[in-house]
Structures are given as structure tokens and as C-alpha cells.
Amino acid sequence: MDIGQHIHNLRIQKQLTQEELGERTDLSKGYISQLEHNQSSPSMETFFAILAVLGSNPAEFFALEQPPRKIVYHPEEQTTYDDEARGYRVKWLVPASNENQLEPVTITLAPNGRFKSFEPSPAETFIMVQTGTLSLQLGEQCHTASAGDTLYFHATETHQIRNQGSTSCTFTLVTTASYL
């Protein structure tokens, strides 16, 4: 951990200049600069005083830093699952997305294939059909969507997605709860 850089980052987050931090801790602007550039080490008392002004404590300051968030995911990182009995393939587009608020997948249904049936939940679901035609049975109602169409629904009723066509159907599904 770069202690000086971490002090600098906290100071910037608090919108303080080196001079302002120095004034609030009875330290000089030059000494604050030395700390931030790792040219000097503070005593424990000074370190605690700086943390108090910066709104932190030693446990928070030295907590393991979070790794940088991953933004771009490549095809080789995707996981695929095939259910030949039901005639579908699921491709998780973001690894470990079931731990996130959104879970995006691409699903391909073989002709007459069906995705598993789901009980009512508080999930919100978005679907964009890339190829073919799918049927969404949502409670007592059936909705049909073709390539280019999108569906958006609250999953408050039992539901299932089917391909009743003679060609495969591929769609991207994004849900807000543990759906899959």
C-alpha cells in the first residue's frame, strides 16, 4: 500500500488543500507534501490526527483495497451451459454475474426448445430477441416476440420462455434477481 498516495486521495476526497490539512492538524504544508510523497513517516499520534481530519480510522485506512472494477469482458471469459433435454444453451456474459444486481445472459432455444419454468419473484426482466421468435408464458397470458423485439416485465407470475418455431431462437436476457 502506498500510504502517502492514500493520504493524498483521502485529502482530495475531502476537498482539502495540503495547507488546510496542515492547519487542522498543526502541521506544515511542506510536511503534508512530504507525507504524500513518502518522503517522511508520521508518528502514530500525527497519523491518527490526520486520519481524524480525513474522516477515517486505521482499520478503514488499512483495509484491503478493492481490486479495480472490471469493465470489459471478452468471449473467452463467458461460461456456457447446455440442457439438451429442454433444448437450450445459456451463455453467462459476465462471470459471477449472479453475485451482482443484474445478470445478463444470452440464451439459444432449439426449435421447440423451452427454458425452465420460474415461480413468481420480485425480479424485473428485460429480453431482446436477436433471432427467431419466442413465446413468453407469463401467468395466464402468452406474449410472442420476434427478432428485434424487446420484452420487459416484472416476474410476479409463474413464467416460462419457449421457442415454438422451426428455427432456433437467440435472445439476451437481463434480470435483477437470481433468475437462472
Per-residue pLDDT of 25-37, as tens digits, reads 999 999 999 999 9
CATH architecture for the domain at 75-175: Sandwich (2.60)
Task: Report whether 97 contacts 175 (CB < 8 A).
Answer: no
> Quick check: 170 pLDDT over 70?
yes
| Vertex 112: Cα angle to 169 and 158 (nearest 5) | 85
Query: Mean pLDDT score of the chain, rounded to an integer?
Result: 91
What is the value of pTM for the model shown? 0.62
> Quick check: 113 pLDDT over 90?
yes
Task: Give the helix ranges, DSSP H, for the chain.
Answer: 3-13, 18-25, 29-36, 44-53, 58-61
3-13 and 29-36 are packed helices; what angle lies between their axes, rounded to 10 degrees?
A: 120
Q: How many whole angstroms separate alpha carbon 175 and alpha carbon 155?
A: 9
Task: Give the helix ranges, DSSP H, for 90-169.
Answer: none
- Give yes or no on whether 3-61 and 75-175 have one common fold: no
Domains in the chain: boundaries: 3-61, 75-175
pLDDT confidence tier of residue 2, bands split at 50, 70 and 90: confident
- CATH class (in words) of the domain with range 3-61: mainly alpha
